[in-house]
Amino acid sequence: MKTQRSDELFEEAKHYLPGGVDSPVRAFGSVGGKPFFVRRGSGSKLFDEDGNTYIDYVCSWGPLILGHAHPRVVKAVQRAAENGLTFGTPCELETVLARMISAAIPSMEMMRFVSSGTEAVMSALRVARAFTGRNKVLKFAGCYHGHSDALLVKAGSGLATLGLPSSPGVPTAWANDTLIARYNDIGSVEQLFSAHGKDIAALIVEPVAANMGVVLPKTGFLEDLRRITDTYGALLVFDEVITGFRASYGGAQALLGVAPDLTTLGKIVGGGLPVGAYGGKRKVMELVAPSGAVYQAGTLSGNPLAMTAGIETLKVLREGDPYGRLQKMTDVLTVGLSHLIGTLGVPAVVSSLGSLFTVFFSPEAATDYDSALMADTDKYRKFFRAMLEAGVYVPPSQFEACFVSLAHTEEDVDRTLEAAQRAFSASLK
């Protein structure tokens, strides 16, 4: 496999960008080697600067549920671009997308658009603090909610492999207001609420955890979180930046039947352009300026290009039975992977929900951060390298989700399983 051009570009990038990248996990730190530089993407494929082609199961870490460069999204964005890139004044597209989101996720009666998931979460928690007049936030070890200061504590994702329990530069005072519970362990939540209940503004959770690898909520877990937050008067915040329009058209909350007070979105709602959104009950969201006093603003928020990419993506997702198709395709893949694991005797399990999955190199499915961290990252590294050699790009970290898109074909799945047979064998050496 030729890598010369990508290697040169990486060396050059390192002069100007820390680690040569603009987001840490892209540097392949935990799987070794150097990242490939992409020239273009189309459908389920990425094409790199050395002429290699990859079947892509990272899909830009979640936004590309339709695959790369979906013709309808690209056309809509091109047309919108001709009318101006940003206005800094209201445009109808903001209301159109908000109406579509509210129809899909009825708990989001009112919302605000921002430009990233990080911003959405940070702002949602500011509103929760203002609404409750309390300061503390409870999160779960291994859940990632973006890189804002207060949330960079036991945050999974890129931090899981960097080995940073939190980050230098985060004032202890901020981290002190962040309480950490164990995912799927309702006892750990009850304990924190009985000790700090009157100070807890919000409990934030990924309703299906996807930033420590895919970890499913146990039956009743989310219902228990709803009950406890109601009891203590704290707001329940679902971070659906990954699961929104992914777990189902109405997100994880529609699939699992638990409605939060506030929801944060990102990734798919921007259709590949930078968008985040936070929203919930009208009486909470009306606290946001200018209707209320909680300040939050953004130069490019609600810009017509990002709104258009989101609107067009959601339109495609409303046609036919995309979630049924995604599920079927992912089932063939995960059943095939599990079969290979069984026949080859690999100490691994596949954890999946809808079009999200993770191959964990551990004997049992993870239920929380500690059990996720027991996975054998050296085996994952060998698996990853062999998959990449065979032209299949899975996440360059054990603790991330694989994403299947509507552009993935049966042929992609067959080729992936062929590659996986060799890669699993390589992982055992």
Ligand X SMILES: *Cc1c(COP(=O)(O)O)cnc(C)c1O
Q: Which of 45, 68, 70, 145 binds ligand X (CB under 6 A)?
A: 145
Residue 302 identity: G
Q: Where are the beta strands (DSSP E) in 276-372?
A: 276-280, 349-353, 356-360
Residue 287 identity: L
**Residue of this chain nearest to ligand X (CB atom):** 117
x/- mask, ligand X, residues 220-259, rule CB under 6 A, reads: -------------------x-xx-----------------
Active site (annotated) includes residue 177:
no
Residue with tokens 């039947």: 257
211 binds ligand X (CB under 6 A): yes
Residue with tokens 């985060």: 170
Nearest CB to ligand X, comparing residues 6 and 116: 116
Least CB distance from residue 87 to ligand X, whole Å?
A: 22
Backbone angles phi, psi at 127, to 5 degrees: -65, -40
Structure tokens at 340: 């290979």
Q: Which of 77, 97, 121, 268 binds ligand X (CB under 6 A)?
A: 121
Residue with tokens 């058209």: 249
Active site (annotated) includes residue 239:
yes
Nearest CB to ligand X, comparing residues 164 and 426: 164
- Scan residues 267-286 and list those touching ligand X (CB under 6 A): 276
Nearest CB to ligand X, comparing residues 41 and 276: 276
3-state class (DSSP) for residue 276: strand
Check 48, 177, 239, 368 and give the catalytic one: 239
117 binds ligand X (CB under 6 A): yes
Check 45, 267, 379, 382 and give the catalytic one: 267
3-state class (DSSP) for residue 347: coil
Q: What is the DSSP letter of 76?
A: H
In whole angstroms, give the CA distance from residue 394 to residue 284: 39
Nearest CB to ligand X, comparing residues 162 and 426: 162
- Scan residues 367-426 and list those touching ligand X (CB under 6 A): none
Q: Are 372 and 215 in contact (CB under 8 A)?
A: yes
Q: Are 376 and 428 in contact (CB under 8 A)?
A: no
Nearest CB to ligand X, comparing residues 54 and 399: 399
What are the helix and strand counts (H, E) for the chain?
15, 14
Q: Which of 20, 43, 146, 217 binds ligand X (CB under 6 A)?
A: 146
Check 54, 144, 183, 380 and give the catalytic one: 144
Q: Order across the sheet with 45-48: list the strands.
A: 38-42, 45-48, 53-56, 392-393
Stretch binding ligand X (CB under 6 A), from 29-37, 140-148, 244-252, 404-412: 140-148
3-state class (DSSP) for residue 364: coil
118 binds ligand X (CB under 6 A): yes
266 binds ligand X (CB under 6 A): yes
3-state class (DSSP) for residue 264: strand
x/- mask, ligand X, residues 301-340, rule CB under 6 A, reads: ----------------------------------------
Those residues whose C-beta lies under 8 Å from the C-beta of residue 20, and which sit 6 or more positions away, are 10, 11, 13, 14, 27, 35
Q: Are 395 and 402 in contact (CB under 8 A)?
A: yes
Contacts with ligand X by CB under 6 A: the residue count is 14
Structure tokens at 310: 């989101």
Stretch binding ligand X (CB under 6 A), from 111-119, 167-175, 408-416, 421-429: 111-119
Active site (annotated) includes residue 368:
no
Least CB distance from residue 121 to ligand X, whole Å?
A: 6
Q: Which of 52, 116, 248, 427 binds ligand X (CB under 6 A)?
A: 116
Least CB distance from residue 211 to ligand X, whole Å?
A: 5
Backbone angles phi, psi at 273, to 5 degrees: -105, 165
What Rg value do the Cα atoms of the chain yield, rounded? 21
Least CB distance from residue 274 to ligand X, whole Å?
A: 7
What residues act catalytically? 144, 239, 267
> Which residues lie near ligand X (CB under 6 A)?
116-118, 121, 144-146, 206, 211, 239, 241-242, 266, 276
